Amino acid sequence: MLSAFRYTPLFVAMAATMPAHTLADEAAQEGFVAGSSLNIKLRNAYFHRNQLDAGVHDNREWGQGAVARFESGYTEGTVGVGVDAFAMLGLKLDGGGGHAGSSILPLNQRSDGELGAAPRSFSTAGAALKLRAFDTELKAGDLFINNPVIAGGETRMLPQTFRGVSLSNTSLDGLLLEAGQASFTKPYNQSGHRRIDSFYASLPEGRHSDHLNWAGGTWTGTDAFSASLYSAELKDIWRQHYLNLEYTYVVNDQLSLNPGLNLYRTEDTGKSLLGDIDNTTFSLHLIVAAGAHSVTAAYQRVNGDTPFDYINQGDSVFLDNSRMYSDFNGPHERSWKLQYAYDFAGLGVPGLTSTVSYSRGTLDLTRANADSVGYGSWYSADGKDARHWERDLDVKYVVQQGAAKDLSVLLRYASHRGSRGYSSVDRDNDEVRVIVDYPINVF
């Protein structure tokens, strides 16, 4: 079990690699105040999910978000002390009760079970104490985390945060080691915290997981090859391991090839609150980049009677076929993707990029366990040869200079369709998202 004491060997290994000259010394030269920074990110988000199934309301909401993040430097001494703090505010610009549930604004569940209009505003704030000694940094409090087994969602109006502790070490060039524990999460569309849980299953009433532990590392020691290895345990639910391998072969100045692998292995653990889990999911990709053009071909496969699952509302699904609407992660699902991207700098328009893709999956939902505590809803008697597909289009422009430098506008469109056997999992819909970001560096 990945309980807290199991990380002790990793912490010892981190300490053993600490050099004589340290990042703490460098931070101390800057000081607590001189090394501080304050950044504000404004995000205007519009989400419209056009539901095509009869009798289902569309989801359509528009909001304005603001995130202020303060990061101090470190005090002088062998062990430097600092603090990180943030404040978030979300404002509803449009969205009535009949169109609620787009995922960017809080849910307002009425007594009759229907969704009411979201509140006009919601906000949250948090902070973390941080310590740095040598090349090791410890943080405790409210954290922004991004790795393959626990990653805060950044795709909505406001980001997701976690409450816990994290430890990272960068003693060796090109190697990042990290570990930590999180017990609570602040979802991206609400003010308060809740227990950390899974995305695709709900725990029985009165049951919860106490925390998620994780440890792992990423090596980027060469320009051509990188690798990541992580392990995590959502207590009494699952133990999950992740492997990533990436290789880039440069043919010439205009052409490169990038094959890669993402692999997750998930098994139930402890009290198995979501039932039996025995799931191996992987994706393979090949990216061919030629000048301003790139083409990606990907194949993804899920081996198991449960879907590939991950932290609720998080972005910790580092699989090639995880798209805007569907993750193509159902039980025994096989899927492929073909994607084309173009950087308009090749036509003299720097900052403008576009991506278009088509993904298609086939799965056998009759093999899902209808008696599973957490995933029984995936069983479908009509799902022997269930199929679905998704088309995605992204167009993004980032202002390159002037007073609005770094302001970005992202237009996203997705169209998803499924067969009769798949309709119990996801609906047919067309979705449009417009996201405008404006970062401000105060100091």
> What kind and span of H or E run contains 87?
strand 79-94
Full-model pTM: 0.90
For 296-343, what is each residue's pLDDT tens digit?
999 999 999 999 999 998 788 999 999 999 999 999 999 999 999 999
Check: CB of residue 408 under 8 Å from CB of residue 22: no
Residue that the structure tokens 């009677």 belong to: 305
User: What confidence score (pLDDT) does residue 29 get?
Assistant: 55
Q: Is 320 left (phi over 0), alpha (psi -120 to 50) or beta?
A: alpha
Instruction: Check which CATH number belongs to the domain holding 215 and give it.
Output: 2.40.160.10
Check: CB of residue 283 under 8 Å from CB of residue 298: yes
Domain of residue 299 covers 4-441
Helix (H, G, I), strand (E, B) or coil at 138: strand
User: Based on the number of CB atoms within 10 Å of its own CB, is 178 exposed (0-12), middle (13-18) or buried (19 or more)?
Assistant: buried
Of 323, 285, 311, the C-alpha closest to 147 is 311
Quick one: CA torsion of 277, 278, 283, 284, rounded to 10 degrees?
A: 170
Query: How many Cα neighbours within 13 Å face the side chain of 443?
Result: 8
Of 384, 369, 148, 370, the C-alpha closest to 245 is 148
User: What confidence score (pLDDT) does residue 115 get?
Assistant: 76
User: What confidence score (pLDDT) does residue 113 get?
Assistant: 66
What is the rounded distance in angstroms from the CA atom of residue 229 to the CA atom of residue 217?
6
Q: Is 235 left (phi over 0), alpha (psi -120 to 50) or beta?
A: beta
Could you please report the per-residue DSSP string of 366-410? GGS-TT-TTTGGG--TT-TTEEEEEEEEEEEEE--SSTTTT-EEE
Q: Is 267 left (phi over 0), alpha (psi -120 to 50) or beta?
A: beta
User: What confidence score (pLDDT) does residue 355 get?
Assistant: 98
Mark the ranges of the chain whose per-residue pLDDT is less than 50.
Answer: 1-28
In total, how many domains does the chain have? Answer: 1
Beta carbons within 8 Å of 9's beta carbon, 6+ residues apart: none
